[in-house]
Every structure is written in structure tokens, then in C-alpha cells.
Structure 1
Amino acid sequence: MTAAQPDLWALFFHFLTLSLLSIGGAITTAPEMHRYLVGEQHWLSDTQFTASIALAQAAPGPNVLFVAVLGWNVAGLSGALAAMAGIMLPSTTLVLAATRWARNNRDSIGVRAFTAGMAPLTLGLLLSTGWLLAEPFLRAPEHLPTTLVLIAATLVLTLRTQISLVWMVLAGGLLGALGWV
């Protein structure tokens, strides 16, 4: 099989289109990516396509990294940039536009109702994620006291201060790296 010379604009626009269809994440459009990259353009083989996804899924980081690996295997760094820009541009633009619109209309009844309705959902997702991450440490007797202290401290800091959650996550990571958890 002879690989066709990659057209970066075609790669970019195809991934741009897929971004608009990727409800549930970019991985949901993998069959269409395969059809395009392997079947239609012949830029990748079946093995390269599968290995690209497996490699990206095994690596730490966002799930969407497999798009960069696919792009890299098509055309190196420029292919990775074209594919990632294509898959990220529509969703990023939509989020920025929606955020700006919601901020400008924050006093409207619709935005207030949406925000109030999303609060319990967001809280539930955060609690379930926290439980999932804490459960193994709560089951281990040697980690139970420090885990409970960290959970309580995080709860108090979240409710009583304006400290960003990012700093609390970083502090927890530091405490774990130091062996305190």
C-alpha cells in the first residue's frame, strides 16, 4: 500500500467536522477517523491506526491525545497540530462563546435556572469522583487517618475560603509524593 501525500488542510477540516459530531468525546468518532485515514486517504495502515489509539490511551493525560498521535503518524508535528486544532477548535470556540454569553446574561431567569439546576449535578459528579479516588485509601487501615484528615481539610477549605481547587489538588499531590498519604 502506497501512502498518499498528506494534505494538512484536508486533515484539519476533516477533524474540524468530526469535532462537531463527537458528543461523548473524540473517541466516539474513531470509526469515521479510521474510514478517512486508513480506508479513504491511505495515510495510515490498520496497524498504525490501532497502535496510535492504544499508545495514546495508555499514556497519562486527556483522552483526546489519541488525535495528536494519529496526526503525528500522518504527517509528523504539523499533522499532530492540524488534527488537534481541528478537533479542539469548534468545542473550544463553543465553550468560550457560551461562557461569554452566560456571563453577559447571568441575571436572566434562564441562565439562573440552568446554573441552579446544574449545581446538584456538578456536586454529585464531584462527590462520586472524590469517593472513587478516596475509597482505596479509606479501606487501607494505615491510610485511613490521613485520608480522613485530608477529606475534612479539603471540605473546610472549599466551604470557608476562596482557595482554588487546583491548589488543593496540587497540595494533595505534593503530600502524596512526600509519602504522607
Structure 2
Amino acid sequence: MTAALLAKLGWRFFIMAFLAIGGANAVVPEMQRQVVEIERWMSAGEFAALFAIGNAAPGPNVLIVTLVGWRVAGIAGALVATLAMVVPTSLLTYAVFRVWDRLKDAVWRRPVQNGLSTVTVGLVAATAWLLASATDVSPFLALVTAATAALSYFTRLNPLWAFAAAAALGAAGLV
């Protein structure tokens, strides 16, 4: 592990931090493109596995960043990637919300908020599509993904039940 690798890793996540409207999951497609396609630090399957671990673990969805940094450059990489992703956005969020609170009566505030919500939903949907396409390597796995998505969207059932069912299918050797 070199300082150049840590600097490159930090720069990639620093830039992505400013695109993460709605959280780290909003930039997962770009994160995957950077670490899998451009830098070739890992395979698409490894990235999908890190994403699954990061979301299965308790805590914020930014854990994927820490796991990617760890996979690329060990503990130093985990620290660099996490700090590069969290510190700039934390400072920016603090500044924006101070201003946003002062503009609570502005006529244009609600339309801007609604527009940003729509962008966030689109970015998270792109994340879902990217990860599904990387892991659905058979018709049966695509069916499991579709069933999980339908269950999550059309019912109030906790999605962890669908994940547990998928894990049971995997443990049974069916996938």
C-alpha cells in the first residue's frame, strides 16, 4: 500500500461525497464504476458482496465506503475512504441547513425540496438496478430479486424477511 493509492482512494470518495444526495447509497453506481470498472480494485461480485455486508450490518449506509476502502488498502484505506466521504458532506450539510432554516418561509423552498427528493429516489433506484444486474446471474436469482423487490414495494413486511429467505435459499444450495 502506497501513499499514492491512499491519495487516489481519498480523492475518489471526496468527489463522490458531493454527489451523495440522499446518502451513500445514492452514489453506489458511481462507486462501483470507479472501483470495479475504472480502477479494477475488485470484481463486480466482490463489490456487491461488500454492499450486502454493509447494509446487513447495523449502522449507517455509509459502511459500504469503509468496506471498499478496507478491501482496497486495509485499515488505512478504510479510514481514508470514510473520512473523505463523511467529513466534506458533514460540513456542507451543517452549512446548508443553517441557511435552509433561515429560508423556511421562502416560496421556492418546497419545490426545491421536492426536486431533490426525486433525484434521490432516482439515484437509489439506479443503485438497485446496478446491484441486481451484477448479481442476477441466473433466471432463478433474477426471480429472487424480483420477488424481494415486489415484497418490499407492495407490502409493509420488513425486507429483512426477504433477505433471510434469500439467505436460506443460498444456504440450502439452491442459488
Provide the TM-score with structure 1 as the length reference. Answer: 0.52
Alignment map for 1:1-181 (pairs within 5 Å): 7-98=5-96, 110-111=102-103, 113=105
Number of corresponding residues: 110
Report Cα offsets for 1:96-154 as digits up to 9, x if no partner: 3346x55xxx8xxx44637xx99xxxxxxxxxxxxxxxxxxxxxxxxxxxxxxxxxxxx
Identity %: 37
Aligned AA for 1:62?
P
Question: What displacement does 1:15 show?
Answer: 0.7
CA distance in 1, matches of 2:76, 2:30: 21
Q: Which runs of 5+ in 2 are unaligned?
A: 111-175
The Cα of 1:33 is off from its aligned counterpart by 1.0
For structure 1, the 5+ residue unaligned runs are 119-181
The AA in structure 1 aligned to 2:40 is: H
Give the counterpart letter for 2:22 in structure 1: G
Question: Taking CA–CA contacts closer than 8 Å with sequence separation of 6 or more, which of the two structures ends up with the larger relative contact order?
Answer: 2
Q: Do the aligned partners of 1:6 and 1:74 also contact (CA within 8 Å) in 2?
A: no
Structural RMSD (CA): 3.0
- Give the C-alpha shift of residue 13 in structure 1: 1.0
Task: Normalising by structure 2, report the TM-score.
Answer: 0.53
TM-superposed deviation, 1:20 = 0.7
Give yes or no for contact 1:6–1:75 (8 Å, CA) kept in 2. Answer: no
Could you say which structure has the larger radius of gyration? 1
